[in-house]
């Protein structure tokens, strides 16, 4: 699977949380964040133009000793032109300052991996920098400025104008110490692993050859609840069979009813492409209707039918989606600083995110090794059992365009006070970059060692093996990354 927002594969873990022991009160700490949407036009070789859309989630005050600094996780995808299917995933950092009144300045840099659609991405290492003027209004901000995009080892390098919208948000986590009583509200989310099917028997690909009769996809959905049943969704999915390397990302607006059997309606727009699917510039539209059936314990089984078409490509097809959805409600601290809540009102919902790099050393199917950026999200269910979601994108050795997404589970054993050993199994989809993985289905086994010298921060090293289930690739893996551990304060 190509692009996996990270913080979005993150969400994949629908199972409940295990409780932690607290004193009479717990501390809820708010962290200012934002959702960042951007768009620009990139000139490719030969004068061709490609629209590039971005989605990011940023921590706005990660370093108290460096005011104005911000860091985040971002993804970019083709959304205009004729290169639908180009996606990259990576990390962003920058600095921002208010100049006068609502006006300010911002600079930032991005490094990630990916590519696709034969757009000239080379190794797949995507470097992007921007400098912009900003204007704040209500809970949003607009930024207009200069953007530079470059793909290392490829033919894409361009400087132009870009525009972005920033929407203010807050991430509340459980912390340590003491504080005054909290001023809180609640916020609900739904996360849902999903499988989808396109009925594509009458469709023709970019190459002119007929597409497979059906395209199977696996992915993840995340929905933020609004008032009166309305929701803001984000969905990511990649082909596991029928169109190796196809990837899609959707957002939009939805409504979900209440009750044991709940109707739902979604109107989605997004970007997609790859796997010979002719999405033109990559912009997709999908209306969808469905039903959800309550299974208890905040779980719903949801089935939906929809129709997807590329607005400037030849692909259009009906489809169906089946998802297992878990809904949780969290406490949100409304003040600028930490606050306390009664421990009896809070259930700890632990998570871990690891951002780093992986190196593939193929034993079969490819002569060269590949370096990749890796994002791993852990959802502990029990002290010894963890569900995992992972995204990787290539950034070396002319493998630009290869990306993958995997879901799995890991068994862990504590080793001394700050060390943990783990053994995991993962399965998912991937494609692109000339990597021989057949229809796209892949599986991996990994061993990990994690060291947490600080309460929230540490490092993780892993080794293992990945293989294509019906392709030629068999490769050893070594990886390392920085770990951030946190817990959401759920309403008990």
Whether this model's pTM surpasses 0.85? yes
Q: Decide: 373 and 397 in contact? Cβ < 8 Å.
A: no
Tokens of 364: 């079969």
Q: Of 169, 194, 229, at which residue does a domain stop?
A: 169
pLDDT tens digits, one per residue of 291-301 = 999 998 799 99
Q: Decide: 322 and 302 in contact? Cβ < 8 Å.
A: yes
Q: Can you give the pLDDT at residue 116? A: 85
Same domain, 276 and 413: no
Tell me: pLDDT of 21 over 80. Answer: no
pLDDT tens digits, one per residue of 232-259 = 999 999 888 899 889 999 999 999 999 8
Domain with 51, as residue range(s), is 9-19+31-169
Same domain, 15 and 159: yes
Tell me: pLDDT of 16 over 80. Answer: no
Q: Decide: 401 and 247 in contact? Cβ < 8 Å.
A: no
Q: Can you give the pLDDT at residue 176? A: 84
Q: Can you give the pLDDT at residue 15? A: 34
pLDDT average, residue stretch 335-350: 91
Residue whose tokens read 């510039």 = 281
Tell me: pLDDT of 19 over 60. Answer: no
Tell which residue, 13, 36, 40, has the closest CA to residue 94. 36
Flag whether 446 is in a domain.
yes
Q: Of 169, 194, 221, at which residue does a domain stop?
A: 169
Q: Decide: 377 and 355 in contact? Cβ < 8 Å.
A: no
Q: Can you give the pLDDT at residue 104? A: 97
Tell me: pLDDT of 27 over 70. Answer: yes
Flag whether 174 is in a domain.
no
Q: HSE of 88 in the Cβ direction (CA atoms, 13 Å)?
A: 30
Give the N- to C-terminal CA distance of the chain in Å, as an integer.
35
Which three-class secondary structure state does DSSP give residue 46? helix
Which three-class secondary structure state does DSSP give residue 228? helix
pLDDT average, residue stretch 117-121: 87
Flag whether 178 is in a domain.
no
Flag whether 3 is in a domain.
no
Same domain, 155 and 110: yes
Same domain, 321 and 377: no
Residue whose tokens read 């995808």 = 77
Q: Can you give the pLDDT at residue 13? A: 33
Whole-angstrom distance, CA of residue 204 vs CA of residue 202: 7
Same domain, 304 and 426: no
Flag whether 2 is in a domain.
no
Tokens of 338: 């930490």
Q: Can you give the pLDDT at residue 24? A: 75
Across the chain, what does the average pLDDT equal? 91
Q: Could you tell me where the DSSP H helices lie in 202-349? A: none
Domain count, the chain: 3
Tell me: pLDDT of 77 over 50. Answer: yes
Tell which residue, 25, 11, 121, 108, has the closest CA to residue 68. 108
pLDDT average, residue stretch 149-177: 94
Tell me: pLDDT of 225 over 80. Answer: yes
| CATH code, 384 | 2.40.160.20
Tell which residue, 58, 383, 343, has the closest CA to residue 174. 343
Q: Decide: 1 and 216 in contact? Cβ < 8 Å.
A: no
pLDDT average, residue stretch 267-279: 94
Same domain, 159 and 13: yes
Whole-angstrom distance, CA of residue 487 vs CA of residue 29: 11
Q: Can you give the pLDDT at residue 139? A: 85
Q: Decide: 6 and 391 in contact? Cβ < 8 Å.
A: yes
Same domain, 309 and 449: no
Same domain, 372 and 423: yes
Whole-angstrom distance, CA of residue 256 vs CA of residue 299: 14
Q: Of 115, 134, 169, at which residue does a domain stop?
A: 169
Which three-class secondary structure state does DSSP give residue 343? helix
Flag whether 179 is in a domain.
no
Tell which residue, 270, 281, 354, 294, has the closest CA to residue 48. 281
| Total residues belonging to the chain | 492
Flag whether 338 is in a domain.
no
Q: Can you give the pLDDT at residue 401? A: 87
Longest dimension (CA), the chain: 67
Q: Can you give the pLDDT at residue 133? A: 98
Q: Can you give the pLDDT at residue 10? A: 35
The residue among 395 and 7 whose pLDDT is bigger is: 395
Q: Decide: 463 and 446 in contact? Cβ < 8 Å.
A: yes
The strand ranges marked E within 156-275 are 157-175, 184-199, 214-225, 230-241, 247-256, 261-273
Same domain, 323 and 202: yes
Flag whether 323 is in a domain.
yes
Whole-angstrom distance, CA of residue 332 vs CA of residue 485: 18
Distance of CA 365 to the CA centre of its chain: 28
Same domain, 163 and 204: no
Q: Decide: 239 and 215 in contact? Cβ < 8 Å.
A: yes
Same domain, 161 and 190: no
Q: Decide: 370 and 402 in contact? Cβ < 8 Å.
A: yes
Whole-angstrom distance, CA of residue 361 vs CA of residue 473: 10
Q: How confident is the model at residue 17 (pLDDT cuts 50, 70, 90)?
A: very low
Which percentage of the chain shows pLDDT scores above 70?
A: 95
Which three-class secondary structure state does DSSP give residue 10? helix
Same domain, 201 and 304: yes
**CB-neighbour burial class of residue 453 (10 A; exposed 0-12, middle 13-18, buried 19+):** exposed
pLDDT average, residue stretch 20-46: 86
Q: Can you give the pLDDT at residue 240? A: 84
pLDDT average, residue stretch 183-203: 94
């Amino acid at each position: 699977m190509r692009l996996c927002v990270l913080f979005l594969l993150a969400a994949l873990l629908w199972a409940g949380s295990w409780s932690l022991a607290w004193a009479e009160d717990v501390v809820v700490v708010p962290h200012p964040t934002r959702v960042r949407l951007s768009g620009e036009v990139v000139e490719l070789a030969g004068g061709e133009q490609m629209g590039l859309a971005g989605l990011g989630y940023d921590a706005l005050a990660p370093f108290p000793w460096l005011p104005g600094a911000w860091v985040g996780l971002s993804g970019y995808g083709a959304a205009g032109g004729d290169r639908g299917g180009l996606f990259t995933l990576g990390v962003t950092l920058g600095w921002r300052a208010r100049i006068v009144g609502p006006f300010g300045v911002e600079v930032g840099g991005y490094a990630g991996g990916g590519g696709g659609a034969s757009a000239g991405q080379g190794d797949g290492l995507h470097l992007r920098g921007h400098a912009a003027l900003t204007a704040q209004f209500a809970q949003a901000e607009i930024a207009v400025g200069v953007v530079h995009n470059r793909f290392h080892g490829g033919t894409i390098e361009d400087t132009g104008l870009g525009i972005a919208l920033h929407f203010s948000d807050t991430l509340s986590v459980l912390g340590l110490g003491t504080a005054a009583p909290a001023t809180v509200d609640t916020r609900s989310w739904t996360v849902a692993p999903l499988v989808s099917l396109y009925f594509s028997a009458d469709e023709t690909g970019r190459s002119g050859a007929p597409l497979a009769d059906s395209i199977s996809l696996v992915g993840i959905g995340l929905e933020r609840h609004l008032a009166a049943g309305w929701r803001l969704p984000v969905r990511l999915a990649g082909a596991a069979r029928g169109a190796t390397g196809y990837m899609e990302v959707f957002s939009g607006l939805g409504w979900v009813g209440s009750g044991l059997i709940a109707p739902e309606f979604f109107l989605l727009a997004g970007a997609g492409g790859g796997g010979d699917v002719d999405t033109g510039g990559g912009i997709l539209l999908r209306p969808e209707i469905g039903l959800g059936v309550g299974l208890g314990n905040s779980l719903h089984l949801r089935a939906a039918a929809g129709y997807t078409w590329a607005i400037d490509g030849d692909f259009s097809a009906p489809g169906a989606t089946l998802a297992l959805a878990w809904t949780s409600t969290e406490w949100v601290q409304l003040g600028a600083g930490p606050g306390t809540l009664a421990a009896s009102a809070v259930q700890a919902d632990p998570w871990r995110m690891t951002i780093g790099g992986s190196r593939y050393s193929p034993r079969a199917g490819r002569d060269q090794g590949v370096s990749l950026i890796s994002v791993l999200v852990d959802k502990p269910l029990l002290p010894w059992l963890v569900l995992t979601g992972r995204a990787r994108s290539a950034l070396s050795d002319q493998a630009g365009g290869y990306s993958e997404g995997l879901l799995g589970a890991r068994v862990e054993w504590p080793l001394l006070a700050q060390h943990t050993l783990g053994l995991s199994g993962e399965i998912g989809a991937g494609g692109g970059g000339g990597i021989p993985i057949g229809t796209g289905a892949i599986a991996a086994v990994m061993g990990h060692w994690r060291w947490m010298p600080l309460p929230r921060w540490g490092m993780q090293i892993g080794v293992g093996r990945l293989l294509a289930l019906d392709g030629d690739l068999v490769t050893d893996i070594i990886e390392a990354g920085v770990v951030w551990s946190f817990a959401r304060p759920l309403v008990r």
